[in-house]
Amino acid sequence: MSRPFLLAQLTDTHIGADWGGPVQPAAALAAAVDALRGSPDPPDALVVTGDLANDGAGEQYAVVGEQLRRLKLPFVVLPGNHDDRAAMRGAFGLPGDRDDAIHAAAELGPLRLLALDTTIPGAAGGALPEAELHWLERALHDARDRPTIVAMHHPPVLTGVPAWDATAIDSRDQTALQRLLERHPQVLALIAGHLHRTLVAAFAGRPLVVVPSTYMQSQLDWSCEEFVLVPEPPAFALHALLDGRLVSHVQPIV
Ligand SMILES: [Fe+2]
Ligand SMILES: [Fe+2]
């Protein structure tokens, strides 16, 4: 049997945050990179699904870049609500004008990664404006036969947890994305972050995998009106493509 193609996913590194946990976010990201480097099956590519910097500051992106480059892998970064598009664009040399949406289509071996920007500058909530959906539609139309993952920061579902749903993507945008993906069966899965927990849901008939932060996690509490961060184990994901089928693993970092 052939070896799977492995896409690693890190998310919500929050460099610069100080939320009172036992480990600082920069050290936690370094530990995640060490864990990936020490893996018996090193990944082939990497995506970081937003909230890289806690305050969108240039020096915070420099820390992220320094750590990611230790992996010596092709990587894709997309923004979360804590990120600043212009600072992130400058730090990683991303194309486009300062405050434009940051999206990317990356050809990673046998896998195509489409990274979406779900952020609203200055707001915590998520959105998928028409321009972003139009970009996705065109990108999917361009490569109908390529196995594809769609990556984004805010997951496009409601959870029933008030604290999380307060920053969810607008339900009309969720529906528009669902209809769009129903026309494109080459999308194998959606992957996201933002919730600082592991979640799995179905979306447009595909799995949606939400991956924990490399830093701190959020408390699972359906009555909780506010995000409560807890020092539960961080994790990364490995999305394994084998013979056209995708199997996603969430690996705690110990
Ligand atoms: Fe986050
Ligand atoms: Fe977030």
Interval between CA 139 and ligand 2 midpoint (Å) = 25
> How, if at all, do strands 199-203 and 187-192 pair?
unpaired
pLDDT for residue 254: 86
Q: With a threshold of 0.85, does the pTM exceed it? A: yes
The ligand placed nearest to the CA atom of residue 164 is 2
Calculate how far, in angstroms, residue 244's C-alpha sits from the geometric centre of ligand 2: 30
pLDDT score recorded for residue 224: 86
Per-residue pLDDT of the chain (254 residues; tens, 9 = 90+): 689 999 999 999 999 999 998 899 999 999 999 999 999 999 999 999 999 999 999 999 999 999 999 999 999 999 999 999 999 999 999 999 999 999 999 999 999 999 999 999 999 999 999 999 999 999 999 999 999 999 999 999 999 999 999 999 999 999 999 999 999 999 999 999 999 999 999 999 999 999 999 999 999 999 988 889 999 999 999 999 999 999 999 999 98
Q: What is the pLDDT of residue 27?
A: 98
Query: In one letter, which amino acid is 99?
Result: D
Q: How far apart are the first and last CA of the chain?
A: 30
pLDDT at 155: 98
For residue 122, the CA-to-ligand 2 centroid distance in Å is 12
pLDDT at 121: 95
The residue type at 143: A
Which residues does 19 contact at the CB level (< 8 Å), separation at least 6? 215, 216, 229
- Of 200, 211, 229, nearest to 46 (Cα)? 211
Residues with CB under 5 A from ligand 2 (ion): 51, 80-81, 194
Tell me what pLDDT residue 225 has.
86
Query: What's the CA-to-centroid distance between 196 and ligand 1, angstroms?
Result: 6
Residue 1, pLDDT score: 61
> Ligand 1: distance of its center to the CA of 168 in Å?
13
